[in-house]
A = this chain, B = another copy of it.
Amino acid sequence: MTLLVVGSIAFDSVETPFGKADEALGGSALYFSYAASYFTPVRLVGVVGEDFPMKSLDEFRARGVDTSGVEVSKGKTFRWKGKYEGEMNVAQTLDTQLNVFGDFKPKIPAAFQNTPFVFLANGAPVTQMSVLEQVKSPRFIVADTMNLWMRIAKPALLTLLRRVDGLILNDEEARELSGERNLIRAGRAILGLGPKIVILKKGEHGAFLFSEFFQFALPAYPTDDVKDPTGAGDSFAGGFMGWLAATGKVTLASLKRAMAYGTICASVNVEDFSFAAMRRTSREQLERRMDEFIQFIQF
């Protein structure tokens, strides 16, 4: 089944102990789309400035991403500049220029409005909500969020949480949203805010999935070659939602396998800057890594 993603398209300038990238292609919606398109057709909605080379979306279209929802707006494309040090668990933001993304009012093309699987990448909760007002009876909606919205838009975020099926967030965000230090309590508390599933990402420590009826945990894929963590969370979400949409089913079994595909996509993505590592990884190679991962965690 098809999968709609609404989120940012950006130029990222990133420095890590292993190198740097200057104004490289990035943004949550693009990382998500790249990963999800290993599995299923993706419909992308985002905004870029007049400075954006539309040709750079060719490789996405070649992977089955429908980019007709990418709007060109007067002004410059969103830019983010950051740095990772030491164990690279946390990005230090050096500069954020929202530019056209600051006024992003997503318009979901008519042809996209009946997409069954929907991912709302990180953004203002009101913006995420505006997407839900434009889609027609989606089967499964998952949202990402971040600390900022818990601080400046809590009521809107809480409203959104009552409308989505799933929420993806990282451990610190889960602690902040729930007020619980223990991650298991945090995950369960967030279920109480509305979503049927909560996915808690822990970077190199893997991820948890909470639902009313079961919990599930996965370690990260054991990569010893992390060059740039930018986009790890979004490629995780892309693999997760991409697999669910491909199967067309949201069941205990499909959710578990989707978590594993999310883990694998993230593990590939962090091995190089921007899209370089995913670009050189075929679906076949992804499956081989999945087989290895299953050996790594099953008994």
Contacts and interface: CB of A to CB of B under 8 A. Distances in A.
A61 interface: no
Contact of A217 (B219, B226, B260): B219
Interface in A197-216: 202, 204-206, 208, 214-216
Contact of A299 (B208, B226, B253): B253
A159 interface: no
A205 B205 contact: yes
Nearest to A182: B224
A184 interface: yes
A86 interface: yes
Interface of A: 86-87, 181-185, 188, 202, 204-206, 208, 214-219, 222-224, 226, 253, 256-257, 259-260, 295-299
A183 B204 contact: yes
B188 A224 contact: yes
A289 to B, nearest CB: 13
Contacts of A298: 298
A218 B182 CA distance: 18
A297 B295 contact: no
B216 A296 contact: yes
Nearest to A298: B298
A207 to B, nearest CB: 9
14 contacts: A86-B181, A87-B181, A182-B226, A184-B223, A205-B206, A206-B206, A208-B222, A214-B295, A217-B219, A217-B296, A217-B297, A218-B297, A259-B299, A298-B298
Contacts of A185: 224
Contacts of A296: 214-217
B208 A205 contact: no
A297 B218 CA distance: 7
Q: Which 6 A-B pairs give the minimum distances between C-beta atoms?
A: A256-B299, A217-B219, A205-B205, A184-B224, A185-B224, A184-B222
Contacts of A260: 299
Q: Which of A204, A208, A218, A224 has the most CB of B within 10 A?
A: A224
A110 B298 CA distance: 41
A222 B198 CA distance: 14
Most buried by B among A204, A216, A217, A298: A217
